[in-house]
Structure 1
Amino acid sequence: MSGYATDTQAAARRWTEGNRVALLENGEQFFPRVFEAIREARREVIVETFILFEDKVGEQLHAALRAAAARGVKVDLMIDGFGSPSLSPGFIGGLTSAGVQVRVFDPGRPFFGQRLNVLRRMHRKIVVIDSALAFVGGINYSADHLLDFGPKAKQDYAVELAGPIVSEIHRFVLQAIAIGGKGPGWYRRRLKATAQDNIAPAGEAAVQFVTRDNRRHTNDIERHYLAAIRSARRRIVIANAYFFPGYRMIKEMRRAARRGVDVRLILQGEPDMPIVKVAASLLYHHLLHAGVRIYEYCERPLHGKVALADDQWSTVGSSNLDPLSLSLNLEANVIVRDRSFNQTLWERLDALMRNNCKRVQASDLGEWSAWRLVRSFFVFHLLRWYPSWVGWLPRHAPQVKPLDTPVPQDAGATRTDAA
């Protein structure tokens, strides 16, 4: 069976019909909706996030979770030990004393002020409320997702979901809690107590919830991207913060452009980490000469992980198109099949390209040189083989640590902005 057939079959499975999907852009749209949903919760709130900072956004989440727990709602919060390293004992204690179950994915102590547990992170951003409403995307709980943060405020996206797909997302987050120490018996009881057996349709969108892990679903998100690129006939738009994808994806983008598809990339022009732009720019020659259009978002750091193909397929989630997200981290995206949502996402991205981006031209890159050819050769083969050799990187079994008392922190630990 060809790789194309396999990818197409994988992408054709598990569509859940009858959902409502709303695009949320930046913290200004995302945070009010999440905090409102938590305030209205009656039975259960589950939050997974890579980054939670003790700033004005983190304090608002803190207050909302405490209030929910105080009125008898079961509240579970999962944070990542690398992404959320410096929460104070008072902040954590305020949650646990109110009855919030706080868990840390793979906590690790800094070594001489440096956090070394960078591999295989829990990078998902998910909220589930009463098994009836869910949020999935790339937005963390930190003030740098708000415009008033200043020039370093991030451009990002998430979705709000209602309908039958929420049952699938709910089962997934409950399983994550169970694997973290609660066990299968707890999982069955919790699911039975909270799941709604027949969630009524809430809209017209077909949705798939797609995750990446280091066990059974090592390349699911990448396969969906590949299937969409291969089947596109009119347009492909990918906006991604950390762009250094595998060889296959580069090859399929070039093929799509050469067969007449309007392929556009929106990448960072003002990156939060300079190496991000350096890595992506190594690929510019190969993509531009195949007809791919590249736009650098120059307003502020781009943090989005979204894409669309033709007039129905779209994706929003936590997965970057780089080695960490595609081969190491735990990620979650939703794939949406809906013309209205696709059109909304296209309008937002089109406005971004027209108003806030600089289009990169081949003439901007300079002439080919012997050094550029040599460098290009090695970069391309690195891309081709990294999915194989990345498996040799340390494969420790990350632990999920429940917090009855705060995890001790090293004052020298620094925050991360790569999310």
Structure 2
Amino acid sequence: MRTEDWFLAGAERGNDACRLPEWCEGNRVVAHVHGSAYFARLVDEVRRLGRGDHLFFTDWRGDADERLCPGGPTVGELFCDAARRGVLVKGLMWRSHRDELSYSEEQNRQLGDEVSAAGGEVLLDQRVRRAGSHHQKLVVLRRPGAPERDVAFAGGIDLCHSRRDDATHAGDPQAVPMSGAYGDRPPWHDVQLEVRGPAVGLLDAVFRERWEDPHSLDTHNPIAHLRDLFFRADLVADPLPERPPDPPPAGDARVQVLRTYPAIRPGYPFAPRGERSVARGYAKVLRRARRLVYLEDQYMWSPHIAELLADALRRSPELHLVVVVPRHPDVDGGFALPPNQVGRLQAIEVCHRAAPDRVHVYDLENHEGTPVYVHAKVAVVDDTWACAGSANLNRRSWTHDSELSVAVLDAAFARDLRLELLREHLDRDPGDDADLVEADGAVRAVEAAADALDAWHDAGRTGPRPAGRLRRHRPERMSKLTRSWAVPAYRMLYDPDGRPWRDRFRHRW
């Protein structure tokens, strides 16, 4: 298993300004399935930090009052207490749009204000493309006096409402309003990685690159700049101490950090023409796929990404594609819903045309029959390469917003992650997975479970409910008239392209 066969090497990243190592060995990676598991670990690790230690974080949305455990602390309390103890707390939050547009500007500003008042520093960062966002979800904890205890968390889980769910999928008591199909407490499925070893140094460097970007935090937004001046927002990043040496080896996993940065003006110093290593990393590994590609994704809605999956299916006649997606978008309404649906419908059609009998798309429900919102961004290829992060399988995540994913080359980790996820979806106990190890057996098991649950629903939900939570995903069909306006709206607003024009014309990620 040669590293360079699976990871991007040399110029394959496509960003000559990148100063990160191509990859690093000697890491230990643990997957935390669900926000409750991740939040509990985060609380434990942050409470152990002392004076002079570092707490760096980036996020798309942060709610200061989100309880990380049933009895607290909240996000604000945890980070503020750390700052008062003398921990160096620095954060980068997406500046976001007004709350009236269903975004989170006020929430992000509130978290920043609380942490700053306690002695930390949180900046609202709008150095993005127009209509873009900073979507990275990262927490880095460094202990300069004890580097062997350094740890980082990266994945799909924001420090905000709706994320603290567990395997029962009863939902977070502090919920964000969503489509009515998910109820008042939307069940939420997500994954965050805990990383130890030299890769913590790579993730620390990712934070520092953004923090030290000398360009204005309010790029392209003079109104926001005036509002920040009025509220006396912190618009200048204080210097960081020198980056500590990388932690010592902690395990056997090889790790590569993948990112998306769009092409903007002025360009990022660390990515003047952008970086699309998330896209390139997936494209490379999909060319190697032979037996099973297992995906969990919030969107999986771009036909451009679906073409890569279709090519893999045509290239390898024994390859199966198993995908777990949300049953419904997170929004509803006559205008917002069709553009959210049409991209996924197109993507599934592209894959089905390539191999109709080897494409298996499912969604989830809890035991009460409420759909589970799949927010995870997870891929496992041939139980060898695994990836989790903030980047979805759509063009926006691969070109337009800032994203961060962690790719792991470790057969044991990749297999164990896939089996853990499948056991939950099939209502299996730990260790009850002998028939799931091989690709063909796993496909038979998930098909049988989904068929049984679908049949139970079709029969009026009479008799004992079959084990499992998987349902066959049945995307909404739409008329030619609806497609005629939904497709352009989807491409322009929901799934825009952040590549330079010459790369678009060459169809190059």
TM band (smaller chain)? 0.7 to 0.9
Match of 1:195 among 244, 256, 266: 244
Task: Name the amino acid aligned to 1:168.
Answer: L
Cα distance in structure 1, aligned partners of 2:134 and 2:108: 20
Counterpart of 1:179 in 2: which secondary structure?
A: coil
Q: Which residue of 1 aligns with 2:361?
A: 294
Q: Which residue of 1 aligns with 2:39?
A: 31
Match of 2:420 among 348, 352, 362: 348
Is 1:136 aligned to 2:154, yes or no?
Answer: yes
Cα distance in structure 2, aligned partners of 1:314 and 1:89: 34
| 2:396–2:497 contact (8 Å) kept in structure 1 | no
RMSD value, Cα = 3.7
Cα distance in structure 2, aligned partners of 1:153 and 1:54: 21
Q: Which residue of 2 aligns with 1:98?
A: 118
- Displacement of 1:47 after TM fit? 1.1
Is 1:280 aligned to 2:344, yes or no?
Answer: yes
Counterpart of 1:36 in 2: which secondary structure?
A: helix
- Cα 1:338–1:191 change in 2 (3 A) is farther
Cα distance in structure 1, aligned partners of 2:34 and 2:260: 24
Q: Which residue of 2 aligns with 1:64?
A: 78
| 1:152–1:272 contact (8 Å) kept in structure 2 | no
- Cα 1:7–1:251 change in 2 (3 A) is farther
Counterpart of 1:86 in 2: which secondary structure?
A: helix
Is 1:230 aligned to 2:263, yes or no?
Answer: no
Cα distance in structure 2, aligned partners of 1:22 and 1:336: 10
| 2:62–2:108 contact (8 Å) kept in structure 1 | no
Task: Name the amino acid aligned to 1:51.
Answer: R
Q: Which structure 2 residues correspond to residues 313-328 of structure 1 after superposition, within 5 A? A: 313-328=385-400
Q: Which residue of 1 aligns with 2:106?
A: 86
- Cα 1:191–1:206 change in 2 (3 A) is farther
- Cα 1:236–1:88 change in 2 (3 A) is closer
Q: Which runs of 5+ in 2 are unaligned?
A: 14-20, 97-102, 144-149, 166-170, 173-183, 217-235, 264-270, 366-370, 426-445, 450-467, 502-509
Output one character per residue of 1:101-145: Cα deviation in whole Å (capped at 9) or x when no partner: 01001299xxxxxxxx97221100000001621000010112301
Cα distance in structure 1, aligned partners of 2:108 and 2:29: 36
- Displacement of 1:349 after TM fit? 3.2
Q: Which residue of 1 aligns with 2:299?
A: 242
Counterpart of 1:268 in 2: which secondary structure?
A: coil
- Displacement of 1:286 after TM fit? 2.7
Cα distance in structure 2, aligned partners of 1:337 and 1:54: 35
Counterpart of 1:22 in 2: which secondary structure?
A: strand
Match of 1:76 among 90, 96, 100: 90
| 2:7–2:256 contact (8 Å) kept in structure 1 | no
| 2:297–2:378 contact (8 Å) kept in structure 1 | yes
- Cα 1:180–1:22 change in 2 (3 A) is farther
Cα distance in structure 2, aligned partners of 1:225 and 1:269: 24
Cα distance in structure 1, aligned partners of 2:496 and 2:341: 21
Which is worse superposed, 285-294 or 46-55?
285-294
Q: Which residue of 2 aligns with 1:159?
A: 193
Cα distance in structure 2, aligned partners of 1:208 and 1:63: 33
Identity of aligned residues (%): 22
Task: Name the amino acid aligned to 1:208.
Answer: Q
- Cα 1:87–1:160 change in 2 (3 A) is same
- Cα 1:91–1:241 change in 2 (3 A) is closer
- Cα 1:17–1:98 change in 2 (3 A) is same
- Cα 1:281–1:348 change in 2 (3 A) is farther
Q: Which residue of 2 aligns with 1:358?
A: 471
Task: Name the amino acid aligned to 1:137.
Answer: G
- Displacement of 1:14 after TM fit? 1.6
Match of 1:123 among 117, 135, 149: 135
| 2:61–2:94 contact (8 Å) kept in structure 1 | yes
Counterpart of 1:223 in 2: which secondary structure?
A: helix
| 1:175–1:187 contact (8 Å) kept in structure 2 | no
Counterpart of 2:284 in 1: which secondary structure?
A: helix
Output one character per residue of 1:358-408: Cα deviation in whole Å (capped at 9) or x when no partner: 1247xx888xx9959x97xx78x979xx8768657xxxxxxxxxxxxxxxx
Count of matched residue positions in the alignment of Structure 1 and Structure 2: 366
Is 1:221 aligned to 2:278, yes or no?
Answer: yes
Greater relative contact order, per chain length (Cα 8 Å cut-off, separation 6+) = 1
Q: Which residue of 2 aligns with 1:44?
A: 54
Cα distance in structure 1, aligned partners of 2:185 and 2:399: 31
Task: Name the amino acid aligned to 1:287.
Answer: C
Cα distance in structure 1, aligned partners of 2:109 and 2:384: 47
Cα distance in structure 1, aligned partners of 2:473 and 2:328: 14
Cα distance in structure 1, aligned partners of 2:6 and 2:111: 47
Task: Name the amino acid aligned to 2:62.
Answer: L
- Displacement of 1:319 after TM fit? 0.4
- Cα 1:191–1:181 change in 2 (3 A) is farther
Q: Which runs of 5+ in 1 are unaligned?
A: 109-116, 393-419
Output one character per residue of 1:302-353: Cα deviation in whole Å (capped at 9) or x when no partner: 1011101002100000001223212210000000001121112211332325
